[in-house]
Structure 1
Amino acid sequence: MAYQATVIPVMIASPGDVNEEREIIRAVIHDWNDINARASRVMLSAVGWDTHASPELGARPQQLINDRILSDCDLLIGVFWTRLGTPTGKAASGTVEEIEAHVASGKPAMLYFSSRPVAPDSIDPAQYANVREAKAKWMQQGLVEGFDDSEELRHKLSKQLSFCLAKNSYLQGIIGTPRDDDAHTRPAPAELSAEAKTLLKAGASQNDGHIWKFSFANGEFLQAGEQTFGEGSNREMARWEAALEELLRAQLVVARGTAGEVFELTHEGWTAADSLS
C-alpha cells in the first residue's frame, strides 16, 4: 500500500579509493529504508558525485557538484582510506570542500576512516599524510569513527545512522517528533516491521515488559522474555537494533536509566502488544 514519507538526501562524500566502502554505505541506507521507512515515514536517499553528477560547463567542477548535489542534502557521510583527493582551488580536495561546506551550513556530517591493510607500494605518501592531517583536524571539531574492515563499517554505520537520525536536532527538525497528545502520528501496530512486532511481543511475554541489551567483548544481543535477538553476526544485531529504534520512535518502549541497556514497554506498548496477540 502506498504511503507518504519525508525524503532525506544523504551525500556520500569520498575520494576515489573507497569504492567498496561507498557501496557498503549505500547498502546500509537501503537496509535502513527496508526496516524503518514505512513505520517512521522517513526515506533516506543515497546521493554521490559518482552517481548524480552530469556533464556541464561554466563553473569549477566541484562548485557544480556543490550547487547541483550537495546543497540539497541534509546529511553527509564521508569515508576515507589512503587518499584525501585532488585539490579544488578552495580546499585540499573535493571531498574536503563538500564536508566543510556541508558543516558550515549547519548540517550533520558523519566521518569514517578505514584502517584496512594496504600494499605499501600502492600508497601515495603525500595523500596518506593529507588524510592523517585532515583526520586530526576534524577530531578537534567533533567525533570521527574508524573501522578495520567492511563488516565493521557496516555494523558501526547501521547503528550510528539510527542514532544520528534519532538524536540530531537538525534532522529531528525535518523529521518531527511525535507529541504525547498527537497519538495519530505514531505508527499503528499493523505498520510496524515484522522485527519490531516480534520484539514487542517478546517484551510483553514477561510481566516486567523489559527488553535488555547486552554487550560483550565479542558481540552484542538483545533479550526480551525468553528470546534472544541479534546473536551470530553484526548485521543480524543491526537488524534488531533498528527494530528497537522503531519501537522507541513509536513510543511503544522507553529507555530506563542512562546506559542504554534496558528498555520497558509503555502503556501504548502493552496495548499494541495485546493487539498483536
Structure 2
Amino acid sequence: MNNKRIQRGGLAMAGTRRFVKVFLASPGDLTEERRAAKAIVDDFNGQLADALGYQVELVGWEDTLPGVGRPQAIINRDLDGCDLFVGMLWKRWGTPPGTEPYTSGFEEEFKRSMTRNAKEGRPAISLLLKDLDAASLADPGDHLKKVIAFKEQVFSEKKLLAGTFADVRDFESKFRKCVQGYVIALSNQERTSESEKDQAPLAETQTMSSTEPGPTTPLSVEGARFLRNFLATAEKATDEQPLAADDVARVRLLSVIVAVHGNDQQSLGAHDGNLLFKARTKFEFGRRELSGLLDDGLANFKQENVPLWHWVAALDGFKNNILPVCTVVDTTSQRVGALKAMRLISEPIVEKEHFGRKEIVSMWFAENSENAIRVAALEYLSDCGQPSDLSFINEEFARNDTQTVGAAADAIIRITLRDDTCCSQVR
C-alpha cells in the first residue's frame, strides 16, 4: 500500500491516509457490474475514507467501450501492486491473452494473484460469481463450460472466499461488504498497533524477544502472551481438571481477532461475552480484543443479557462517536444493535469533519441498506431525530415499503411535534 501524509479530521489516526488498491477482474459480459463497482468505490471514498483513514483505488477498470482494453502486460502491472483481488464471472471465460499456458486474461490474472498470495500473503482474494439460468446450463458453449469447471473447482476446494449473486443490486451489496470488510479490518489493525505502541512501556519494548509479535501482527502483545500461557496450561489439563471456561472463551475471542479475509466467520457468542466480562479483572485485553467484545455485544444486543457499556467505555467510545460509526460499518446485526443501543441512551451523533450527522443518516437509508437497519434507524430518529433528518425519512416513507412505512410515519410525526413544541416555547 502507498502512504500519503495529509492533515484531516475524523476517527482515523491523525495525519495518515493509506491507499488500498482493489483489482477488479472479469471478462466482458459484466460491464454493468463493473460500473456499479466503480460507483461503490467512489461512494466509499466520499463517505468513509476520512473516517477510516483509507482511500480505495479501483484498478483493472477502464472507461472505454466494452471489448476495448489495455494490453495484458500493462494490466499485470496494476495487478501486481493490488491489495485485494476481486474476480467476477458469469457466462464468458474471456479471450486468450497471448501468454502460455493461460486460456484467458481472467485466468492469468487469477493464477498470477494466487501465486503472489502464496509467496507474499497478498493480495486477499475474493470471487463473486453470477448465477446462471437453466437455459444456459442446458446448452453451455465453450466459454461457459470453462466457467462451470472453474466454479466447481473453487467451491470443492473451499480455499477462497467465493459467493454468488443474482443481479446487479445483489452484486452491489456483496461487493460493498467485501471492500468495506477488508478496509475496516486494516483500519482496526492500524489503530490497535498505534495504540499499543503508545501504551507499551519503553523497557518492555527494548527487552521484547524476537518471538514477540510486532506492531502489525494480528495478535496483540497481551493476546500472544495469554496464548503461550494457555498452551502451557492445556498440556497439563485432564478430564478431572479441565481448562477454565473463561480461558476457552478468550481463545475463541482471539480466533475471531486473527481471522483473515476469506476465513472470517465469527463464532464468539453471548455466553462467551458474558464469561469474559465476568473475568474482566483477570485478563489484560488488547484494544483489538476490546473491539471484538464490543462487536459481540452489539451483535447480541437483542438478547438483553450481554455486556456492552463496559466495552464502549473501555474504548473511550462515549467520546469518539464509536456507536454511530458502528451503525454504518459493521455487519447487519451489529449495525442494528448499535442503533438500538443509541436509542436506549439517546446517544447523539457527534459532528466530525467530513463525517457527521448527514453522512451517517444517509447511509442508514442507502439503497443497499436492509430493512432491519432502516427500521432500527427510524426508531432511533423517532426519539432522537432532528428536522434536518426529515428529508431522508420522507424518502423512506415514499418508498411505501410495508416493513418501514409505519416507522417512517411515526418518526415524521414525532420529529414534527418536537420541533413545533420547541418553536412555541421560543415564541
TM-score, with length taken from structure 2:
0.41
For 1:25 and 1:10, the matched residues in 2 are separated by 10
In the other structure, the counterpart of 1:176 is: 190
Q: Which has the higher strand share?
A: 1
2:174 maps to a residue whose letter is: K
For 1:202 and 1:72, the matched residues in 2 are separated by 41
Indicate if the aligned counterparts of 1:26 and 1:46 stay in contact, CA closer than 8 A: yes
1:151 maps to a residue whose letter is: R
Q: Which has the higher helix share?
A: 2
1:198-248 alpha-carbon deviations (Å, 9 max, x no partner): x97873442498xxxxxxxxx54233794279997xxxxxxxxxxxxxxxx
In the other structure, the counterpart of 1:145 is: 163
Counting matched residue pairs gives 208
For 1:153 and 1:201, the matched residues in 2 are separated by 25
2:380 maps to a residue whose letter is: Q
Q: Could you tell me which runs of 5 or more consecutive residues in structure 2 were left unpaired when the two chains were aligned.
A: 1-5, 9-15, 118-122, 200-316, 329-335, 348-369, 383-391, 397-427
In the other structure, the counterpart of 1:12 is: 24
Find out whether 1:84 has 2:93 as its counterpart: yes
1:227 maps to which of 376, 380, 386: 380
What RMSD in Å do the two structures reach over aligned CA positions? 4.2
Q: Which has the larger radius of gyration?
A: 2
Question: Which structure has the higher relative contact order (CA within 8 Å, separation 6+)?
Answer: 1
CA 172–202 in structure 1, closer or farther in 2 if over 3 Å, else same = closer
For 2:378 and 2:150, the matched residues in 1 are separated by 47
TM-score, with length taken from structure 1:
0.60
Structure 1 stretches of 4+ with a deviation exceeding 4 A read: 51-55, 116-120, 179-183, 186-190, 199-202, 228-232
Find out whether 1:162 has 2:172 as its counterpart: no
Structure 1 residues 1-277: aligned runs within 5 Å: 3=8, 4-48=16-60, 50-51=62-63, 61-66=71-76, 68-88=77-97, 89-106=100-117, 107-115=123-131, 125-139=141-155, 140=157, 141-167=159-185, 171=186, 176-179=190-193, 180=195, 182=198, 188-189=320-321, 203-207=341-345, 219-222=370-373, 223=376, 226-227=379-380
2:344 maps to a residue whose letter is: Q
1:96 maps to a residue whose letter is: E
CA 221–201 in structure 1, closer or farther in 2 if over 3 Å, else same = closer
Kindly state the Cα deviation for residue 124 of structure 1 after the two structures are TM-superposed: 6.5
1:40 maps to a residue whose letter is: L
For 1:20 and 1:97, the matched residues in 2 are separated by 23
For 2:146 and 2:378, the matched residues in 1 are separated by 51
Q: Could you tell me which runs of 5 or more consecutive residues in structure 1 were left unpaired when the two chains were aligned.
A: 56-60, 210-218, 233-277
For 1:146 and 1:49, the matched residues in 2 are separated by 21
For 2:151 and 2:135, the matched residues in 1 are separated by 21
Kindly state the Cα deviation for residue 63 of structure 1 after the two structures are TM-superposed: 3.3
